[in-house]
Amino acid sequence: MTEPQQLTDRTALNRNRARASARPDAALFLHELAATEIKERLELVNRTFTAPVAVSGLPRIWADVVPGSQHVPDADILDLAEGAHDLVIHAMSLHWANDPVGQLVQCRRALKPDGLFIAALPGGHTLTELRAALAEAESRLTGGLSPRVLPMGEIRDLGGLLQRAGFALPVADSTIQTASYRDAFHLMADLRAMGEGNALAARSRRPSPRALFIEAARIYADAFQDPDGRIPATFETIFLTGWAPDANQPQPLRPGSAQSRLADALNTTETTLSDPVPPRRV
Q: Is residue 257 included in any domain, yes or no?
A: no
Which range of residues forms the domain containing residue 162?
10-127+147-202+232-246
At 106, give phi and psi (nearest 5°): -60, -40
Q: Find the helix packing angle between 184-193 and 210-224, rounded to 10°.
A: 110
Q: Is residue 281 included in any domain, yes or no?
A: no
Q: Is residue 41 included in any domain, yes or no?
A: yes
Number of domains in the chain: 1
Q: What's the whole-number mean pLDDT along residues 84-91?
A: 97
Q: Is residue 45 included in any domain, yes or no?
A: yes
* Weakest mean pLDDT among 13-27, 28-42, 84-98, 163-177: 13-27
Q: How far apart are CA 125 and CA 154, in angstroms?
A: 8
CA 27 to each of CA 62, 157, 182, 191, 232: distance values in angstroms, whole numbers, following the listed order: 15, 29, 15, 8, 16
What CATH number does residue 119 fall under?
Answer: 3.40.50.150
Q: Is residue 274 included in any domain, yes or no?
A: no
Position 281 scores a pLDDT of 52
Does residue 2 carry a pLDDT above 50?
no
Q: Is residue 256 included in any domain, yes or no?
A: no
Q: Is residue 216 included in any domain, yes or no?
A: no
User: CB 182: neighbour CB atoms within 10 A?
Assistant: 11
User: 236 near 123, Cβ under 8 Å?
Assistant: yes
User: 35 near 65, Cβ under 8 Å?
Assistant: yes
For residues 99 and 61, which has the higher predicted lDDT (pLDDT)?
99
The tens digit of pLDDT for each residue in 170-223 reads: 999 999 999 999 999 999 999 999 999 999 998 888 888 899 999 999 999 999
The tens digit of pLDDT for each residue in 22-75 reads: 876 666 889 999 999 999 999 999 899 999 999 999 887 887 788 889 999 999
Q: Is residue 163 included in any domain, yes or no?
A: yes
